[in-house]
Amino acid sequence: MSDRANIGVLDDGPYIVDGLKELSNSKDEDLEISSKVALCRCGASSNKPYCDGTHKKIGFTDKVDKDAAEHPVTEGESRICVTQNGPLEVSSAIELKVKDEMKLSEDNPYYLCRCGASENKPFCDGSHKRIGFSDDKN
> Under the rule (CB under 6 A), what is the footprint of ligand FES?
86-87, 113-115, 117-118, 124-128
Q: For residues 19 and 126, which CB has a smaller minimum distance to ligand FES in the complex?
A: 126
Minimum gap (Å) between residue 83 Cβ and ligand FES: 8
Q: For residues 2 and 137, which CB has a smaller minimum distance to ligand FES in the complex?
A: 137
User: Where are the extended beta strands (E) located within the chain?
Assistant: 6-9, 15-18, 22-25, 36-39, 79-82, 88-90, 95-98, 101-103, 110-112
The 10 Å Cβ neighbour count of residue 128 is 23
* 90 CB-near residues (< 8 Å, 6+ apart): 7, 79, 80, 96, 105, 109, 110, 111, 112
Q: For residues 103 and 128, which CB has a smaller minimum distance to ligand FES in the complex?
A: 128
Minimum gap (Å) between residue 1 Cβ and ligand FES: 30
Q: For residues 12 and 125, which CB has a smaller minimum distance to ligand FES in the complex?
A: 125
Q: For residues 2 and 63, which CB has a smaller minimum distance to ligand FES in the complex?
A: 63
Minimum gap (Å) between residue 75 Cβ and ligand FES: 27
* 9 CB-near residues (< 8 Å, 6+ apart): 15, 41, 64, 69, 96, 97, 98, 121, 122
Minimum gap (Å) between residue 99 Cβ and ligand FES: 21
Minimum gap (Å) between residue 48 Cβ and ligand FES: 11
